[in-house]
Structure 1
Amino acid sequence: MSIKRSLVTINTPVGQPGFLGPGHTARPVVNGSFSKTDPFIMLMDDLLDKKGNEPVGGPHPHAGFETVTFVLEGKIGDAAHTMQAGDFQMMTAGSGIIHTETIEEETKLRILQLWLALPKKDMWVKPRVQDLPLEHVPTSNENGVAIKLYSGSLAGISSPIQNYTSLIVADITIDAGVSTVLHLPANYNTFLYVINGDVKVGEDGQPLRQNQIGWLDLYDESSESDLKLAGGKDSVRLVLYAGKPTKDPIVSYGPFIAESLEDISRLYQEYRQGQMQHISTVPESQRILL
């Protein structure tokens, strides 16, 4: 008999002033104790209403984890590479990399950026970046349920994104009054983040509303589990994140994730000494356009 998943925690993230200055609101969707959110370190919902052409953002280092960026609205990037609404990027910082996120022109932008833990054995892998543009995202659209799958396998479709940490990321739209059942590994830590509308979750139909995050119960078994979702009186759009916990402790400090404070000190030293390369300069084999 299949395991039935249900909501165990619901939160409504509160926006706060973001580091990009006026017009930037940062909503911390995932934060707190990594032992509970593993493999998810944090997820920010960044909203930017930028006036004028003064550049914001810039180069900064990362190491020991992966950034997973999903653009909901607007565009971000530079002449070398631009991401637009519906585009997805997974950047493996691994042993250490410098990354640039620059917004120059007046724009409205909304992105979800996840920090994803790497398993201990892969924490210091060679940096790489994978870009999956909207037009190449695998999709399923049946019986009032539309799924864009950015990572992993779900609903009979699979993403071309390569994963060190097993990860499912899906942008799901459900028409009003329509219900569906998704099949997920029971041992994947899973949460839903509602972009628009309301959704009823689980066999008991617990409501999850716009801008709320809902965490599902988690099991030790690797068997399949069922997640029932039902649209309300209007259609609903949500993003599902499900990942297999690494079960490895981490140390988080500034832009770095590591196993120890000694590692953190080493990473800062490498960055200050110019030993980290920019992600745009990594070998072609490590820059993957899907």
Structure 2
Amino acid sequence: MAIVRELLRIENPEGEPGFLGAGHIARPLMNGDYSQTDPFILLMDDFLNKKDTTPAGGPHPHAGFETVTLVLDGELGADDHKLKSGDFQLMTAGSGVVHTEVIDKPGSMRILQLWFNLGRENRKAEPRLQDLPLAHVPVVNENGTQIKLYSGTLAGVTSPVQNYVPLIIADIVMKQGATTVQQLPANYNTFLYVLEGSVQVGENKTRLYKDQVGWLNLFDQEGESELRLTTDDENTRFVLYAGKPLHEHIVSHGPFIADNSEEIVQLYREYRQGKMKDISTVPEAQHYKW
């Protein structure tokens, strides 16, 4: 008997003014206690429509987790660290880094940025960057469904991105009237975020609409599960996230994730003492360009 994935809960996140000032709308996509979202900590859908040249953003630290950036539209960063529409970057903050994001020219962009837990044994991993440009993303086209796989294994293909904690991220486009059945590990916490159209999820065909987040039921046992997805009379696009829960307690404070409050205090001390280096200075051996 196949293990079937169904929608367990549907959320309707709202946008709010973001920290980059005028033209920045930030939509927090992750609600509830971490025990429900494990190993996902935070996910933001950021829209920026900048009209002027006043610098926005700046340097800020991270430690104890990974940031995962998917550019949906526009450009982010500059020079060797520029990301364009469809590009993907995984930054392992690990023991601690400073991340500098300054936007000083007019333009529009939309990015999905995830905070993803590292797990106790890798909390202080050496910082690293992994860049996967759109041109190198594994793509599957089958029966009216296109899957761009950024992380993990899905639909018979595997992303080159290396993961400390098993993580699947896929940008999926389905034409009207299409159906696909995908195999996912039954014990991966999984959710969908709809960017365009709507999709029917599971054997129950529960509908998930644009801008909604839908979390699937989760099983304790190992092995594969089936996720059935169907569209009606419109093209649909959504992002699928699936990760293996760590079942560990975490402490979150500002830009840091740790195992206890004492470690949070130590991280702030190291940052003030200048011990955290900018991620742009990461050694070449720790900057993977797939």
TM-score, normalising length from structure 1? 0.99
Aligned to 2:153: 153
Which residue number corresponds to residue 59 of structure 2? 59
The alignment covers a number of residue pairs equal to 290
The DSSP-based 3-state class of the residue aligned with 2:29 is strand
2:143–2:179 Cα contact (<8 Å) kept? no
Q: Deviations for 1:32-90, whole angstroms, at most 9, x for unmatched residues? A: 31001000001000011110112211111000000000000110102342101100000
Tell me if the contact between 1:200 and 1:208 (Cα under 8 Å) persists in the aligned partners: yes
Q: Mean alpha-carbon deviation: is it higher for 261-270 or for 27-36?
A: 27-36
Q: Deviation of residue 222 (structure 1)?
A: 1.2
Q: 1:204: Cα distance to partner?
A: 1.0
Match of 2:276 in 1: 276
Q: 8 Å contact 1:78–1:102 — kept in the other structure?
A: no
Percent of aligned pairs sharing the same letter: 58
Q: CA RMSD in A?
A: 0.7
**1:31–1:41 CA contact under 8 A, matched in 2:** no
Q: Which runs of 5+ in 2 are unaligned?
A: none
Deviation of the 1:133 alpha carbon: 0.4
For the 8 Å contact 1:2–1:225, the answer to whether it is kept is: yes
Conserved? CA contact 1:61–1:255, under 8 Å: yes
Give the unaligned 5+ runs of structure 1.
none
- Which residue is 2:242 aligned to? 242
What is the alpha-carbon distance in structure 2 between the residues aligned to residue 34 and residue 9 of structure 1? 15
Q: What is aligned with 1:2? A: 2
Deviation at 1:231, TM superposition (A): 1.1
Task: Confirm or deny: 8 A CA contact 2:30 2:43 kept in the other structure.
Answer: yes
How many angstroms does 1:268 deviate by? 0.4
- Runs of 4 or more, structure 1, over 4 Å off, are none
- Matched position secondary structure for 1:30: coil
Partner of 1:118: 118
Partner Cα separation in structure 1 for residue 128 and residue 171 of structure 2: 24
Amino acid at match of 1:233: D
- For the pair 1:36 / 2:41, whether they are aligned, the reply is no
Q: Deviations over 1:149-208 (max 9, x none)?
A: 000000000000000010000000011011110100000000000000000000011000
- d(CA) in 2 for partners of 1:254 and 1:18? 16
| More deviation, 186-195/103-112 | 103-112
Q: Distance in 2 between matches of 1:233 and 1:282?
A: 48
State how far apart, in whole Å, the 2-side matches of 1:103 and 1:171 are. 26
